[in-house]
């Protein structure tokens, strides 16, 4: 396990760029908010291979496997999605569906975004 | 006369509601302020570890969106490192999740690498690798009182940790729960609140349940402690077996801050607030009060402080350095930070108009 240098800059960069996790096979697209892109190799779009119909939780597990700091930003150590993090599958808030048990299939998009909060 | 060699400086870490600032000074009067770091994330805890011939700044950071984490810097904030799996992470069997890091406390010089952390939910953690990974203290986590501990206004947390340099004793304070002590390095913990009032409880003198805001240990007498309570200022001379009031002579017994002198016995500072229901300096006049006799008498100091101030000073928004004479530092929820290079005799503004100041820590370090 390696530690990660982290940015504490006053203006976190909105890192542009997209990437493909595998480039082959069937996958779901995971769209990250710009502020988290640096935790996924400066990518805002990742394509994660999935075998078939799966769940949001399984996609998050896959995402977190190679990006543990990113995972900790999205979920706490009980694997609960943080209160002010919103997940959308094909534009539908998973909290209005089955939460992280919501099904997602190849070709669909998981959109991760922070809620409107703070002051 | 300079108090430091030209190669030394004092670093003042200022954690706020919206980021961290580092101020540096060679004379503790003229300060250079860094750019904000961790901007838009609160920094409720900072520890500066000057042991092992290095300066490591550790910060507890919390994003409203992205949660809490611990990071450290060995180059005075130029770069930060965060353990990939988190320096503080509740074991799976607890079913708990870290909410906030309230305290990061390096142990004494003869225990290099040992750093303590106090967190929300109420928990104490110990690191033996300089704050890179902490282990949950099971003795406190499994304590039979746990179900009866409450939450102060800021949340349920262990917010003060005082490892004794003399032996395996550690004192902690939690809100709400009060003071607890271990004498076996953390295997077992006992409530130690005899004499401390909990006026807000049906029984005002319970074994535990007090809302102790801050504790500090005397630098020469490891069994002498000072406590700022939720109404009440106290001293213990027996390792917290019993507490006596030392509030006489203060304009109010409410407040959040308690600081002990880094090298002289009997000297401590408080910053009184008017009352629980009026959390402002008494009469809107901000002042630091100092005792040199263990709390028998107090001396007011407001030299250099504003004529009117209605912001409070939070429990960790005050600190002393280890220089001689000692420096005294504090920041307000109005975002102003003050420094004294003469043990609180007079203060000068370091910076103003920052976000709410949550914590400050200062240490003498080598130049960057």
A36: CATH: 3.10.20.30
What CATH number should be reported for the domain holding residue B229?
2.130.10.10
With respect to residue B224, please indicate whether it lies within any of the assigned structural domains. yes
- What is the dihedral angle through the alpha carbons of B106, B107, B111, B115, rounded to the nearest 10 degrees? -50
With respect to residue B326, please indicate whether it lies within any of the assigned structural domains. no
Domain extent at residue A68: 27-114
Residue B203's pLDDT band (boundaries 50, 70, 90)?
Answer: confident
With respect to residue A4, please indicate whether it lies within any of the assigned structural domains. no
- Asked if the model's pLDDT at residue B298 lies above 50, the reply is yes
Answer whether A69 sits within 8 Å of B66, measured CB to CB. Answer: no
What residues contact B177, with CB distance under 8 A and at least 6 apart? Answer: B122, B145, B149, B150, B191, B208, B209, B210
With respect to residue A18, please indicate whether it lies within any of the assigned structural domains. no
In chain A, alpha helices (H): 56-66, 68-74
Place of tokens 């009182």: B145
- Among candidate residues B93, B96, B105, the one with its CA nearest the CA of residue B123: B96
Residue B1 pLDDT: 38
Chain B interface test: which of A8, A34, A68, A81 (most B C-beta within 10 Å): A8
Answer whether A8 sits within 8 Å of B132, measured CB to CB. Answer: no
With respect to residue A6, please indicate whether it lies within any of the assigned structural domains. no
A18 to A31, A47, A65, B140, B207: CA distances (angstroms): 10, 10, 19, 47, 59
What residues of A are in contact with residue B97 (Cβ under 8 Å)?
76-78, 80
- Among candidate residues B121, B230, B247, B115, the one with its CA nearest the CA of residue B179: B230
What residues of B are in contact with residue A74 (Cβ under 8 Å)?
66
What are the tens digits of pLDDT across the range B308-354?
A: 999 999 999 999 999 999 999 999 999 999 999 999 999 999 999 99
Candidates A5, A7, A73; nearest CB to B67? A73
With respect to residue A14, please indicate whether it lies within any of the assigned structural domains. no
ipTM: 0.90
- For A91, counting Cβ atoms within 10 Å of its Cβ (0-12 exposed, 13-18 middle, 19+ buried), the class is exposed
Domain extent at residue B98: 38-308
Residue B302 contacts residue B288 (beta carbons within 8 Å): yes
With respect to residue B351, please indicate whether it lies within any of the assigned structural domains. no
The span from the CA of A27 to the CA of A20, in Å, is 10
Is the pTM higher than 0.90? The answer reads yes
With respect to residue A52, please indicate whether it lies within any of the assigned structural domains. yes
Total of domains in chain B: 1
Total of domains in chain A: 1
Place of tokens 């450290």: B72
């Amino acid at each position: 396990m390696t530690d990660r240098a982290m940015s504490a800059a006053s203006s976190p960069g909105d890192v542009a760029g997209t990437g493909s996790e595998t480039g082959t096979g069937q996958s779901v697209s995971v769209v990250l908010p710009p502020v988290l892109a640096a935790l996924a190799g400066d990518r805002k779009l990742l394509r994660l291979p999935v075998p078939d119909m799966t769940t949001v939780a399984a996609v998050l597990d896959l995402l977190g496997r190679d990006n543990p700091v990113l995972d900790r930003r999205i979920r706490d150590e009980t694997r609960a999605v943080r209160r002010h993090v919103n997940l959308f599958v094909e534009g539908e808030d998973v909290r209005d569906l089955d939460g992280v048990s919501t099904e997602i299939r190849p070709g669909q998009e998981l959109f991760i975004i922070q809620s409107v909060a703070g002051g | 006369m300079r108090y430091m060699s030209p190669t030394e400086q004092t670093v003042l870490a200022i954690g706020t509601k919206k980021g961290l600032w580092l101020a540096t000074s060679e004379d503790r009067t003229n300060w250079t302020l860094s750019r904000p770091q961790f901007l838009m994330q609160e920094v409720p805890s900072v520890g500066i570890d000057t042991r092992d011939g290095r300066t490591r700044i550790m910060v507890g950071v919390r994003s409203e969106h992205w949660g809490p984490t611990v990071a450290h810097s060995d180059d005075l904030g130029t770069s930060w490192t965060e353990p990939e799996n988190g320096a503080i992470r509740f074991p799976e069997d607890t079913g708990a999740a870290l909410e906030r890091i309230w305290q990061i406390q390096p142990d004494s010089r003869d225990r290099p690498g040992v750093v303590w952390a106090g967190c929300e939910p109420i928990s104490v953690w110990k690191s033996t690798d300089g704050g890179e990974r902490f282990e949950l203290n099971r003795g406190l986590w499994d304590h039979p009182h746990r179900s009866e501990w409450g939450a102060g206004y800021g949340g349920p947390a262990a917010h003060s940790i005082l490892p004794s340099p003399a032996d395996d004793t550690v004192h902690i304070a939690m809100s709400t729960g009060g003071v607890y002590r271990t004498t076996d390095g953390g295997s077992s913990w006992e409530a130690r609140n005899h004499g401390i009032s909990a006026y807000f409880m049906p029984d005002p003198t319970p074994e535990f349940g007090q809302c102790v805001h801050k504790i500090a240990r005397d630098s020469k007498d490891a069994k002498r402690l000072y406590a700022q309570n939720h109404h009440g200022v106290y001293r213990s001379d027996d390792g917290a077996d019993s507490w006596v009031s030392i509030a006489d002579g203060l304009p109010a017994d409410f407040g959040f801050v308690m600081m002990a002198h880094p090298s002289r016995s009997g000297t401590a500072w408080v910053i009184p607030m008017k009352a629980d229901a009026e959390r402002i300096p008494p009469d809107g006049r901000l002042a630091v009060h100092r005792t040199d006799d263990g709390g028998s008498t107090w001396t007011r100091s407001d030299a250099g402080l504003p004529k009117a101030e209605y912001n409070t000073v939070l429990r960790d928004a005050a600190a002393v350095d280890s220089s001689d004479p000692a420096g005294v530092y504090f920041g307000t929820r109005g975002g102003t930070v003050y420094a004294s290079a003469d043990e609180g005799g007079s203060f000068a503004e370091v910076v103003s108009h920052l976000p709410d100041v949550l914590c400050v820590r200062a240490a003498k370090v080598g130049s960057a």
